[in-house]
Amino acid sequence: MELSKKKMRRGHFSKNLIAFVCIVVSVCCLFVVFISMFRLPEVPVGSRAVGLYQTAIRGRVSENEKFIGRFGGMMIEMLPEDLAFTVFVPSQKAFERDLRLRVNDSLVGEKMNDTYAIVSRVMGFSAVPRTLSSVMVPVGREVSYDSISGFPLYITKDIDGMLVVNRIRSERVDIRKGEIVVHVMDGVIMDAEFEQSVQPDYSEE
């Protein structure tokens, strides 16, 4: 009699265990189905999200490059981006007006070497080996620094925040390229000797 009761308890326990396992499996299946039906759409990190971010970055870069111009970009590329420099870059219009450099003409064939020499000389007059953002120049006061070629730069700031360097006014300030601070100028910073050398020789006409 007692043996029969033990067998009945064992059989009852086995049935309960099987029923419990079936319930757990059923709940797991329902959970998986529920998640599959109602899960949030995945964000394609490798394509759309990154692509949108890169587009935004390209938009800012292209906006800055529009002000810096091709020749200004050449000047900046001559400097290491991981070191602190400030460059007063002539605008594209200033390169054309004051130095007669044009993208469609001055960067082709044999003119490329002459153009590179002119741009590197301008960079020597216009680059300062330190960080100098517009907020570091007080309004109404003049600060002075020597460029990397030893040419003195006298810098003031107008009330609208634009910098004036050796009487040449900026068009855009505080563009960052790595550790380099770029200010786009409405003119070319250069000494009198170099300015005379790049003037057109009307005597030959």
Is pTM beyond 0.85 here? Answer: no
Look at residue 197 in the predicted model and tell me its pLDDT: 86
Determine the Cα–Cα distance for residues 26 and 109; give it in Å rounded to an integer.
Answer: 77
- Digit-by-digit pLDDT tens for the chain (205 residues) are 544 544 455 555 455 656 655 565 565 555 544 444 444 333 333 333 333 333 333 444 457 777 788 899 999 999 998 999 999 999 999 999 999 988 777 777 778 888 999 999 999 999 999 999 999 999 989 999 999 999 999 999 999 999 999 999 999 999 998 899 999 999 999 999 998 888 766 444 4
User: What pLDDT score does 83 carry?
Assistant: 94
pLDDT number for residue 25: 56
Instruction: Give the torsion through C-alpha atoms of 187, 114, 198, 70, to 10 deg.
Output: -10
Predicted pLDDT at 28: 52
Q: CA-CA distance, 94 to 115, in Å (whole number)?
A: 15
Between the alpha carbon of residue 58 and those of residues 53, 63, 91, 173, the distances in Å are: 9, 8, 20, 19
Residue 153 near residue 146, CB atoms below 8 Å: yes
In 3-state terms, what secondary structure has residue 166? coil
Per-residue pLDDT, 22 = 54
SS3 label, residue 146: strand
